[in-house]
Amino acid sequence: MVDNIPARTEPARPPAPTLEQVAERAGVSRSTASRAINGGLRVSPEALASVEAAVADLGYTPNRAARSLVTKRTDSIALVVPEPDERVLSDPFFAGTLNGLSSSLADSDIQVVLVIARPGESERTVRYLRNGHVDGAIVVSHHRDDELDRTLLASRVPNVFVGRPLSADERDVQYVDTDNHEGGRLATQHLIDLGRRRIGTIAGPEDMSAGIDRLAGWRDAMSAAGLPQDAIVYGDFTIASGAIAARELLARHPDLDAIFIASDLMAAGALGVLTEHGKDVPGDVAVVGYDNLGVAASTTPPLTTVVQPVVAMARAAGARLLDQLAGVPAPSEPLIFAPEIVIRASA
């Protein structure tokens, strides 16, 4: 027979300290304590110090909902990505962006909300941002037709773009970027310096500034060297599009001895096609990619590529957005990172 064992009762937790208790401990009014906790506006340094000490002594945690009512802030910002879900989950560019943005917020209480703005949903996205769900937005991988730069500018929602805007006047939009034009020129010049003379390119999308600018850099280097500019095919920065573009490029221009490819993911797709066609890299065809986000070091052969400092760019964009939220005057010029090339076995 089993004896009845009395149920074990957990000791009751002490009630959480209240704002009234903080005010009493600090020797100030409840409204002064609230202002001190929620930003310190119109609070003397002495009262602020007393409230901070009382908060520490009591272990008081502010009610976030009540705090939002006072400050009109959500303590969150949106990372807006106008791309399909599968791109966001598979492209290392977005992981690097999230890493850099998170590091810029490490010393704050601000959280990041990921907003995937699927094609055709820019108005819905801006409506979400404008309705007070977040304090501001970082936008990456934007396209001309989504017009997020123009609509965000009209909405007055604080924002910073990673990448040069296309639909709005870039002088009106805060943005951080790398010099994609110089990066494309640098990659192509490297191939020219290797003695390659039949150089094609797999360019990025024609509705994105990175695709446009990297192609312009390729054109400038080819023009300066007096080389033909007829071997151009476009992709969308994915592995699959790189493979499709490489097949088309080789079919149209079988005499190519080098290719500048506007992203490492597209280059990874193209390398497989070159192997299928019996092309040795770099013996028959030298290849230079763009990004250096991890894929480049793991391809066969490892890719020579131009560095896109995504983590640093996102970190800088986050810092600029924090400055906006703090009322710091906006810088008059965008922040542009200089490109550099990393030499590996492919070229």
Question: Is the per-residue pLDDT at 341 higher than 90?
Answer: yes
Which segments of the chain does DSSP mark as H helices, in order? 19-26, 30-37, 45-58, 64-71, 85-90, 92-104, 122-128, 148-155, 180-193, 209-224, 239-252, 264-276, 295-298, 310-325
- Indicate the range of 138-142, 153-157, 260-264, 278-282 predicted with least confidence: 153-157
Domains 76-178+311-333 and 180-309 share a fold: yes
Question: Is the per-residue pLDDT at 64 higher than 70?
Answer: no
- CATH 3.30.465.10 fits domain 180-309: no
Region of 64 (left: φ > 0; alpha: ψ -120 to 50; beta: rest) is: alpha
Residue located via tokens 């801006």: 126
- The CATH code of the domain at 19-62 is 1.10.260.40
- The mean pLDDT value for 283-308 works out to 95
167 in Cβ contact with 149 (< 8 Å): yes
Residue located via tokens 């990505």: 81
Cα torsion 256, 233, 86, 99 to 10°: value is 70
* pLDDT reported for residue 328: 86
Give residue-wise pLDDT tens across range 316-332: 999 999 999 888 888 88
76-178+311-333: CATH topology? Rossmann fold (3.40.50)
Tell me the C-alpha distance between 342 and 337, whole Å: 16
Q: What's the one-letter identity of residue 277?
A: H
In the numeric block, which tokens belong to residue 247? 């097949």
Tell me the C-alpha distance between 59 and 37, whole Å: 13
Tell me the C-alpha distance between 272 and 310, whole Å: 26
Question: Is the per-residue pLDDT at 249 higher than 80?
Answer: yes
Give residue-wise pLDDT tens across range 206-247: 999 999 999 999 999 999 999 999 999 999 999 999 999 999
207 in Cβ contact with 166 (< 8 Å): yes
- The mean pLDDT value for 261-265 works out to 97
Q: Where are the domains of the chain?
A: 19-62, 76-178+311-333, 180-309
Residue 37 or 238, more confident: 238
Question: Is the per-residue pLDDT at 69 higher than 50?
Answer: no
Q: Which of 323, 317, 274, 268 is nearest to 290 (CA)?
A: 268
- Indicate the range of 16-20, 36-40, 241-245 predicted with least confidence: 36-40
C-alpha distances out from residue 344 to 200, 291, 300, Å: 19, 13, 11
pLDDT band of 13, cuts 50, 70, 90: low
- Indicate the range of 133-142, 183-192, 207-216, 294-303 predicted with least confidence: 133-142
- The mean pLDDT value for 61-71 works out to 55
**Dihedral sign for Cα atoms in the order 105, 108, 114, 115:** negative
Region of 261 (left: φ > 0; alpha: ψ -120 to 50; beta: rest) is: beta
